[in-house]
Amino acid sequence: MTTYQGKEPNNIAYTAVAQITGGRNGHADSREPDLSLDLDTPVAMGGKGQGTNPEQLFAIGWGACFQGAMGLAGKELRVAATKLAQSKVRTHISLGDEGESFGIKAKIEVYLPGIDPETAQQLVERTQELCPYSKATQGNVPTELVLVDSME
């Protein structure tokens, strides 16, 4: 067994467990609460596109985590929660060739209406420092953070 070293949380608050069979063209189950998904390779990669793929799940997880961490950053920077409630995050996870296998890159678009550009930039940068997904991928996944004027 191989163990990778890194900073560990002091107290584990929650552990998600998922069981996967069949890889990209299989099925995934998780409990508490129950989640059951058919998995399929995207059409762009030769699949049928009739199920969820790992990149979609990663994009959803990272986006939700990032927006949650924005709440912590907002408190530090004294940004009103009512302004943050209007925010939106769109996360792109791209998969492509990387040597003998595949690699990913990310783009996180953040819409912060009613927040001045300087504060918005500070907020996004601080959120990137606080978000567990961002910390986990730092130095491993090329990530672009972009403030956008709309999410249409």
pTM of the full predicted structure? 0.91
- 118 compared with 5, residue with greater pLDDT: 118
Percentage of the chain exceeding pLDDT 90: 89
Query: Does 88 share its domain with 66?
Result: yes
pLDDT recorded at residue 3: 67
Based on the fold, state whether residues 39 and 76 are members of the same structural domain: no
Cα 35 → chain centroid: 18
Instruction: Say yes or no: 18 and 68 in one domain.
Output: no
Which residue, of 37, 52, 67, is where some domain finishes?
A: 52
CB 97 within 8 A of CB 111: no
Report the distance separating Cα 20 and Cα 26, nearest Å: 7
Tell me how many domains the chain contains.
2
Is the alpha carbon torsion for 57, 150, 133, 69 positive or negative? negative
Residue 21 and residue 66 in one domain: no
Q: pLDDT, tens digit, for every residue of 107-120? A: 999 999 999 999 99
Question: Looking at residue 2, what is its pLDDT?
Answer: 66
Domain containing 99: what range? Answer: 54-148
* Span 24-51, pLDDT tens digits: 999 999 998 899 999 999 999 899 989 9
Residues 82 and 61 in one domain: yes
CATH number of the domain within which 8 lies: 2.20.25.10
Q: Do 27 and 71 sit in the same domain of this protein?
A: no
